[in-house]
Amino acid sequence: MKAVVWHGAEDVRVDEVDDPKIEEPTDAIVRITSTAICGSDLHLYGSKAPGMKQGDIIGHEPMGVVEDVGKDVTHIKPGDRVVIPFNISCGHCFMCDQQLFSQCEKTQNRDTGMGASLYGYTHMYGGVPGGQAEYLRAKQAHYSPIKVPEGPPDTRFLFLSDVLPTAWQAVVYADSPRSGTLAVYGLGPIGLMCVSIAKHLGVGRVLALDHVPERLQAGRARGAEVIDISSVENPSDAVKERTEGRGADSVIDAVGMESEGSLAARAAQYLKIKPDRHGALHDSMWSVRRGGTLSIIGVYGGPDPMWPLGQLFDRQIQVRMGQANVRRWTPHILPLLEDGDPLSVDSLTTHRMPLADAPKGYEIFRNKEDGAIKVVLEAN
Ligand SMILES: NC(=O)c1ccc[n+]([C@@H]2O[C@H](COP(=O)([O-])OP(=O)(O)OC[C@H]3O[C@@H](n4cnc5c(N)ncnc54)[C@H](O)[C@@H]3O)[C@@H](O)[C@H]2O)c1
Ligand SMILES: [Zn+2]
Ligand SMILES: [Zn+2]
């Protein structure tokens, strides 16, 4: 089959590799129809996440049609249309019983000290062959895959694999008061869906910060008051100015370790006042009002030596974070996708292209060229 293979920094290729096959009774083979590129893939593309090996098949946002199932797999059968969550969870261990699916003890990586295994990610997370491919060996398939109805196009359901449950978790963890203000840093696919989900769940006011014009425009269209970080000296001051000097009741960092943008952040990185690429995290922290909540959904892979523990303590900030517990949130989201499109999921996909064009897809998504917000590869 053809698959997107990691060869090194900014070098992904579509290679011919062996077809996957059933190896365990809990496996399923899925013929992939659509598979998206994610901001998390950019950490691999930019070689910022340790533990990649040449030849790794990447991708963790796939959906398709079940081809074959192992003997323990009964909730799905050949011919079913399924979405595959990015984290692999067994559904019935100590952690899964508490709906902490990203910490599943069956697939946890004890040798590297990390949580549940992920598709198409680094060997810190199990090095499991990913879903940017014509076929995927779905693991823990007696539980993990989500069966979706026929009818709407793939791009309606595809984001159940990651973006939608991730954004949902970020908003729930942010715990904004209904009459309050939520600030969202980053208007990539995750931040944009945070805006729509927050509005859907009744959060009074949403501020959103980015510097890419079409992403700011998309945030505005989803109901946010947007702030262009390239036009302000200090993003957290801009948030405070709009919230009676206090800061937002809650803040979501939907940027992660690819932070870029504001003049102050660039200068601080240059002067090494802040660790490289943690600018958005620090701006997020300083944008929360006293007693408010910081929800970190952007991915971080290492320590932050500038973590202002004493000030967070004094300001009584609650901090919540982690990989999305995908299956915890999908039962809340799936009905919304079947009943019209209240979260405007359809407009998230800006580019569709054949799997063979994956290198181009990565390049335009990383460079935010051609208005790219979400790039979907069509595999079959
Ligand atoms: N926790 C999870 O389970 C989970 C799941 C999926 C994605 N993620 C992470 O969420 C983050 C966002 O993913 P995405 O797909 O939306 O990625 P993306 O790269 O498309 O979006 C990031 C956005 O942040 C903006 N940005 C950069 N620096 C900024 C700054 N200093 N202030 C404000 N905005 C800034 C960029 O312009 C971009 O629009 C990534 O770190 C990704 O790894 C986490
Ligand atoms: Zn993803
Ligand atoms: Zn489990």
Phi, psi (deg, nearest 5) at residue 264: -65, -40
State how far the Cα of 154 lies from the Cα of 222, in Å rounded to an integer: 21
Model confidence at 260, in pLDDT bands (50, 70, 90)? confident
Which residues of the chain form CATH 3.90.180.10? 2-162+330-378
| CA 187 to ligand 1: nearest atom | 39
226, 256, 251: which is closest to 324 by C-alpha? 256
Ligand 1 touching residue 297 (CB < 6 A):
yes
pLDDT of residue 184: 98
Answer whether residue 110 shows pLDDT above 90.
yes
Confidence of residue 50 (pLDDT cuts 50, 70, 90): confident
Superfamily (CATH H level) for 164-321: NAD(P)-binding Rossmann-like Domain (3.40.50.720)
226 touches 184 (CB < 8 A): no
Which of 88, 192, 210, when mutated, tests ligand 1's pocket best, judged by the most ligand atoms within 8 Å of its CB? Answer: 210
Distance (angstroms) between ligand 3 centre and the Cα of 143 equals: 10
Ligand 1 neighbourhood includes 239 CB (under 6 angstroms)? no
In this prediction, residue 271 carries a pLDDT of 64
Q: Mean pLDDT throughout 21-41?
A: 97
Pairwise CA distance, residues 104 & 270, whole Å:
39
Give the integer Cα–Cα distance in Å for 150 and 216: 33
Strands 375-378, 288-296: pairing kind: unpaired
CATH architecture, domain 2-162+330-378 = Alpha-Beta Complex (3.90)
1-10, 44-53, 338-347, range with the lowest pLDDT: 44-53
In angstroms, what is the span from residue 191 Cα to ligand 1's centroid?
A: 7
Q: Which of 226, 235, 72, 221 is nearest to 138 (CA)?
A: 72
- Whether ligand 1 lies within 6 angstroms of the CB of 189 is answered as yes
User: For helices 163-174 and 189-200, what crossing angle results, to 10°?
Assistant: 60
Q: Please tell me the distance from the alpha carbon of residue 199 to that of residue 154, in angstroms, as a whole number.
A: 24
Mutate to test the pocket of ligand 1, among 45, 258, 326 (most ligand atoms within 8 A of CB): 258
| Helix/strand/coil (H/E/C) assignment for every residue in 209-245 | EECCHHHHHHHHHCCCEEEEHHHCCCHHHHHHHCCCC
Going from the C-alpha of 81 to that of each of 34, 71, 379, the distances in angstroms are 11, 19, 14
Average pLDDT, the chain: 95
Give pLDDT tens digits for 180-207: 999 999 999 999 999 999 999 999 999 9
CB-CB neighbours of 199 under 10 Å: 20
Give residue 79 CA to ligand 1 midpoint distance, Å: 35
Q: Which atom of ligand 1 is nearest to the CA of 296?
A: 1
Interval between CA 290 and ligand 2 midpoint (Å):
32
Residue 101 near ligand 1, beta carbon < 6 Å: no
Token representation of residue 100: 């902490």
With CA atoms as reference, report the closest residue to 378 among 348, 351, 360.
351
Rounded-to-integer distance, Cα 82 and Cα 106, Å:
22
Which residue's alpha carbon is nearest to atom 44 within ligand 1?
298
Cα(160)–Cα(332) distance, rounded to whole angstroms?
A: 11
Give residue 98 CA to ligand 3 midpoint distance, Å. 9
Q: What are the angstrom distances between the C-alpha of 273 and each of 41, 235, 256, 265?
A: 27, 17, 18, 9
Cα 202 from chain centre: 22
**Dihedral class, residue 260 (left if φ above 0, else alpha if ψ from -120 to 50, else beta):** beta
Band of residue 109 on the pLDDT scale cut at 50, 70, 90: very high
Give the span between the Cα atoms of 216 and 208, in whole angstroms.
8
What pLDDT was estimated at residue 266?
A: 61
For the residues 44-50, what does the mean pLDDT come to? Answer: 86
Residue range(s) in the chain whose domain bears CATH number 3.40.50.720? 164-321
Instruction: Give the chain's length.
Output: 380
Task: Report how far ligand 2's centroid is from the alpha carbon of 282 (Å).
Answer: 23
Q: What is the pLDDT of residues 299-317, one digit of tens each?
A: 998 888 888 999 999 999 9
* pLDDT band at residue 264 using 50, 70 and 90 as cut-offs: low
Per-residue tokens: 274: 């802040």
**Minimum-distance ligand 1 atom for the alpha carbon of 185:** 33
Ligand 1 nearest atom to the CA of residue 209, by list position: 33
Of 379, 348, 353, which is closest to residue 34 (Cα–Cα)? 379
Place of tokens 């908003």: 171
Nearest one of 202, 248, 194, 254 to 219, comparing CA atoms: 194
